[in-house]
Structure 1
């Protein structure tokens, strides 16, 4: 008979899966809205008083800017106020991703409109009032820079190319040159307690977990021995490495002992990876950054057009800006869409959960890991075991070590009942 229980760690007990900086980001977004709204009023009123149609037009543009920020701000406020609403089965942590997805669609529409207008001006050039256009573009740039400063914090702007293939940070890897091959000894601690990993660095290198161990010798003379398990392609220590990570490590292999030295340092984890990134503040940041990029391109195009008479520079700058915005919009749609569809943002988390359970001799029958909010992962695990005394509480204790795993559901079934 299956033993099915649900439990979670930390905030997950109340199904509150908001990002760590949720309220701070909420305040930042409302501050940007206040700035844009004030600028909008100044430009519209000033343009009306002094008869500047360009100033009024830029004020109306600033209103769309504030409207886009409003999507993010309302999402933060709604998610916070309804965080404990039981109707949201897994909390309101994904509301920011939904707002980010919506903002990405708005950005894509803006890119299309800018591109359309630029092409139209290529085909039918219009006179440019440089005396008004350039100062307005400069003011717009200053407002966007101020907005970027207000929104700056623990999030990515538009970068998506963060590699996760390296099993450890570069300065935590030591090389061993042995008769049986070359091996990389590293400390791995991405989302889990730190462990040793030993990986073949050359094609002919051979590893045997039963013949490998590591003995650490700390400055105070304390020693500890670590046994290893084969993970398929590399060996990983069965025991966690206590802090600090400053010690000599004597690696025993089939052909003798080899010594490497690890020094304590700031680990510098990427706090903005796919599992922890707040896509709502990111979408707001990308919006003002896109506007700033357009302002810069507009200033360059206008200055060149006025100086050299190159009127085509203005629409060309518009086309370049449209392409840049479209690229950022695509990245935001891709990342937020994946979360809304429950694609796992951290495959290593699933791998580590599986290894943590199967190291005890059990078998993972089914496993699902997905993101329920910035910095919060949820897991549903079905375990087949021959140990009758192991219930769901046992596996919750095993998985409690994983950072960011905020909600866990475990089903335990006798091994003979496994599919």
Structure 2
């Protein structure tokens, strides 16, 4: 017997999967466009009045810069205005990734044009009007610095669309996490490490052995926390393969004495509350690729301006005319590299690649801790900080319905949409 339910933890749910800093990022992007447009008009009008072709040319270049930023701004505005549009089955959260992918293509084309122009100048050098070119490059750099400042958003508060849980751990390629709050404990069978882990989930304890020959048994240990007011809480553990993890979550604050009970006796350690680290929004699941694309545009322009200034100054002082096109080649390579990274990441999201492998592990662990089996599992991103999961569960408990698993999985931060299929199988008669 199979029961199927599609829900975001309750009936009548919405499908708004925009990043936490969506509106703030939208305002910042429009502000950069206003700055670039004002600079563009100033250069074109000034160049026309004073007969400076170089100034007019830089003004036209600034217009392409504003146009590229317009892609990001329109994506933000459209996604916000149509966030509740029923035509978008899973909301408009991915529109920013589509805009980022488009911007990556534009960046790649810019890199090709810069590279082509640089190679052409290597083969056929042209006279350089240093008196005009250097000041224009400096002004362009100042505009780009101002744009970077506007987009960084630090002075506007946290607007990176990240999860507001603690971040006590760092993700490594080997799949293990190097928790900051790790306590090493000497036991009769070797050193063990007890730590607090809360990457995208409510905080839990993790216990690992530092010796490959020492096997920890979840049934043979327990942890008890003793808070300053005398309150105590006990924790049981589940075997995750490479580590043991507490089944119960750890309430805030994380300032308490821990008593670890092992077969060789009790071991006491202290945990202190550390300042919360909200991260910088650069993890794969929470990254706003639309803002990332806008940021790369201004950074690429700033890098080109810096290289241009260096190339022009060296060319002027030492008559190294080849420095100007060389700076162009280096700038083209840098932009091409940024473009490739942005295209790879946004393209994967548009193709529903799982950008958060940990979320899939967490969903599987929660269900298997309940004594059931996962028959099929798919996890993909709906927008910055919003993941969706489709899971097929096999259970012998006839009382368990999709709502049971929704309640279990509701603890996973960032899991914004859940589809559950329950296949109930009778046990042996």
What residue number does 2:355 align with? 345
Distance 2:26 2:79 in 1: 10
CA shift, 1:274, in A, is 0.8
What residue number does 2:113 align with? 113
What residue number does 1:281 align with? 291
Preserved CA contact (<8 Å) 1:251 1:257 = yes
CA shift, 1:139, in A, is 0.6
CA shift, 1:163, in A, is 4.0
Within 5 Å, give how 1:168-179 maps onto structure 2.
Answer: 168=177, 170-179=179-188
What residue number does 2:67 align with? 67
Deviations 1:386-419 (A, max 9, x none): 11111111111001111111111111111359xx
What residue number does 1:159 align with? none
What residue number does 1:262 align with? 271
Deviates more, 1:408-417 or 1:186-195: 408-417
Secondary structure at 2:31's aligned position in 1? helix
What residue number does 2:410 align with? 400
Closer/same/farther in 2, CA of residues 168 and 233 from structure 1, 3 Å limit: closer
What residue number does 2:339 align with? 329
Preserved CA contact (<8 Å) 2:194 2:207 = yes
Deviations 1:329-375 (A, max 9, x none): 11111111111111111111111111111111111111111110111
CA shift, 1:12, in A, is 9.3
Q: Which of 180, 187, 193 does residue 196 from structure 2 map onto?
A: 187
Secondary structure at 1:190's aligned position in 2? coil
Secondary structure at 2:400's aligned position in 1? coil
Structure 1 spans left out of the alignment, 5+ residues: 157-161
CA shift, 1:20, in A, is 0.9
What residue number does 2:321 align with? 311
What residue number does 2:217 align with? 208
Deviations 1:150-193 (A, max 9, x none): 1113449xxxxx84457556431111122212211111101111
Preserved CA contact (<8 Å) 1:13 1:407 = no
Preserved CA contact (<8 Å) 2:9 2:407 = no
Preserved CA contact (<8 Å) 1:167 1:188 = no
Structure 2 spans left out of the alignment, 5+ residues: 154-158, 162-169
Q: Which of 225, 230, 243 does residue 252 from structure 2 map onto?
A: 243
CA shift, 1:204, in A, is 2.1
What residue number does 1:152 align with? 152
Distance 1:87 1:291 in 2: 37
Preserved CA contact (<8 Å) 2:171 2:178 = no
TM-score, length of structure 2 as denominator length:
0.93
Distance 1:234 1:2 in 2: 34
Distance 1:59 1:163 in 2: 44
User: RMSD of aligned C-alpha atoms?
Assistant: 1.8
Closer/same/farther in 2, CA of residues 283 and 405 from structure 1, 3 Å limit: same
Distance 2:276 2:237 in 1: 23
Preserved CA contact (<8 Å) 2:21 2:160 = no
What residue number does 1:17 align with? 17
CA shift, 1:8, in A, is 0.5
Aligned residues: 412
Distance 1:332 1:357 in 2: 34
Distance 1:415 1:183 in 2: 40
Distance 1:242 1:341 in 2: 38
